[in-house]
């Protein structure tokens, strides 16, 4: 069987994604306790900081019987300029899967092209598909289904927004994106999904949130954009997720944030810590979906 990668949500069909979420749910409930990674190693390359991604993959690998290998790109030869395609072939001779978090999405695609073992995208500047798996599981837990749900994305048209667009396209839920001009998502990703589901673009957060089942946001300056923080803070004025915005949403709406969050910037303390917030379930679900993903690709 040819190896499979997970670089973007559309790498899996809707059925495959739902099966994966179901498996993650069984793992979380403790009814699925197999150890399909016994004797196997996952290499985890990090060119950016991480708490959730690192810990969920590391702990998840151990719980599945395997061995995780943390490789900071500052410490391996990749950081000194060894080509990604060489790194891919060397690691493929020694490990059973590679997870990578880095800047350029093209680097992850090149890694996957040259690796003979499954490659998992642990975040690039373009996409964050592993986080969206956790977000989907959190929505299913809250509402029982993704069907007929409306998600409001408030803020930057960034890697998270792009993966939400891909998820909406594959799974068919409605996605409303509120972004200021100049910070809208990638047009090609938008166009690829627009024909598959209802996508709405607005610069009015309230319009996006109206009746939505899920209100979600992310930091205004992502990793690598720290120097733009002041300019971005001005551009995103009015995009704060606060109680007034949550009141526009469905009364049972939940609030999601991939974390880390900047309280008082993109979300108020009261929403973040409030009764509609599911951010800790969402963070925990990283572990369960990452395990389901590894069991599927490497098991």
Q: Which residues are catalytic?
A: 101, 128, 131, 218, 258, 286
- Closer residue to ligand CP in complex, CB, 50/124: 50
- In the numeric block, which tokens belong to residue 146? 């993704």
Instruction: Using CB positions, name the residue nearest to ligand CP.
Output: 53
| Helices 14-29 and 159-171: angle between axes, nearest 10 degrees | 110
By a kind-dependent CB cut-off of 5 to 8 A, residue 159 interacts, out of ligand NVA, ligand CP, none, with ligand NVA
How many Å apart are CA 167 and CA 73, to the nearest integer?
Answer: 29
Asked if 254 and 271 touch (Cβ cutoff 8 Å), the reply is: no
Positions 234 through 263 that interact with ligand CP (CB under 6 A): 258-259
By a kind-dependent CB cut-off of 5 to 8 A, residue 162 interacts, out of ligand NVA, ligand CP, none, with none
Q: In what order do the strands lie in the sheet with 67-72?
A: 67-72, 41-46, 97-101, 119-121
Q: From residue 182, how far is each of 52, 161, 203, 254 by CA, in Å?
A: 29, 14, 11, 28
By a kind-dependent CB cut-off of 5 to 8 A, residue 158 interacts, out of ligand CP, ligand NVA, none, with ligand NVA
> Which stretch, 10-18, 49-57, 61-69, 139-147, contacts ligand CP (CB under 6 A)?
49-57
Q: Per DSSP, which regions of the chain are E strands? A: 41-46, 67-72, 97-101, 119-121, 150-154, 174-178, 199-202, 214-217, 254-257
Nearest approach in angstroms of CB 219 to ligand CP is 10
Query: 232 Cβ partners below 8 Å, 6+ apart?
Result: 156, 183, 220, 221, 225
Instruction: Using CB positions, name the residue nearest to ligand NVA.
Output: 222
Is 121 a residue that touches ligand CP (CB under 6 A)? Answer: no
Nearest approach in angstroms of CB 258 to ligand CP is 4
Positions 3 through 32 that interact with ligand NVA (CB under 6 A): none
Residues 64-103 vs ligand CP: string with x where CB under 6 A? ----------------------------------------
Torsion over CA: 29, 35, 36, 37 (sign)? positive
- In the numeric block, which tokens belong to residue 28? 């979380």
Task: Kindly state the number of chain residues that form the binding site for ligand NVA, as judged by CB under 6 A.
Answer: 10
| Binding stretches for ligand CP (CB under 6 A) | 50-53, 123, 131, 258-259
| Binding stretches for ligand NVA (CB under 6 A) | 123, 128, 158-160, 218-219, 222-223, 258
């Amino acid at each position: 069987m040819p190896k499979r990668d997970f670089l973007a949500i559309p790498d899996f069909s809707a059925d495959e994604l739902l099966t994966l979420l179901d498996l993650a749910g069984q793992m979380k409930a403790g009814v699925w306790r197999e150890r399909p990674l016994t004797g196997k190693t996952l290499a985890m390359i990090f060119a950016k900081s991480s708490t959730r991604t690192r810990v969920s993959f590391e702990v998840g690998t151990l719980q599945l019987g395997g061995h995780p290998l943390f490789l900071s790109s500052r410490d391996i030869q990749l950081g000194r300029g060894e080509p990604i395609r060489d790194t891919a072939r060397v690691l493929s001779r020694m490990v059973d899967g590679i997870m990578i978090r880095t800047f350029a999405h093209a680097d992850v695609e090149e890694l996957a092209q040259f690796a003979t073992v499954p490659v998992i995208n642990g975040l690039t500047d373009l996409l964050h598909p592993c986080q969206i798996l956790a977000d989907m599981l959190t929505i299913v837990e809250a509402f029982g289904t993704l069907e007929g749900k409306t998600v409001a994305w408030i803020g930057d048209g960034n890697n998270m927004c792009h993966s939400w667009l891909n998820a909406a396209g594959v799974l068919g839920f409605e996605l409303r994106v509120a972004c200021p001009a100049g910070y809208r998502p990638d047009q090609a990703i938008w166009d690829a999904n627009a024909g598959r589901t209802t996508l709405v673009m607005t610069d009015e957060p309230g319009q996006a949130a109206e009746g939505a089942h899920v209100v979600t946001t992310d930091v205004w300056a992502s990793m690598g954009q720290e120097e733009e923080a002041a300019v971005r803070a001005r551009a995103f004025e009015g995009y704060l997720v606060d109680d007034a915005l949550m009141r526009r949403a469905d009364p049972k709406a939940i609030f999601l944030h991939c974390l880390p969050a900047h309280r008082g910037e993109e979300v108020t303390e009261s929403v973040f810590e409030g009764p509609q917030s599911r951010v800790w379930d969402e963070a925990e679900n990283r572990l369960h979906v990452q395990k389901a993903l590894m069991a599927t690709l490497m098991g």
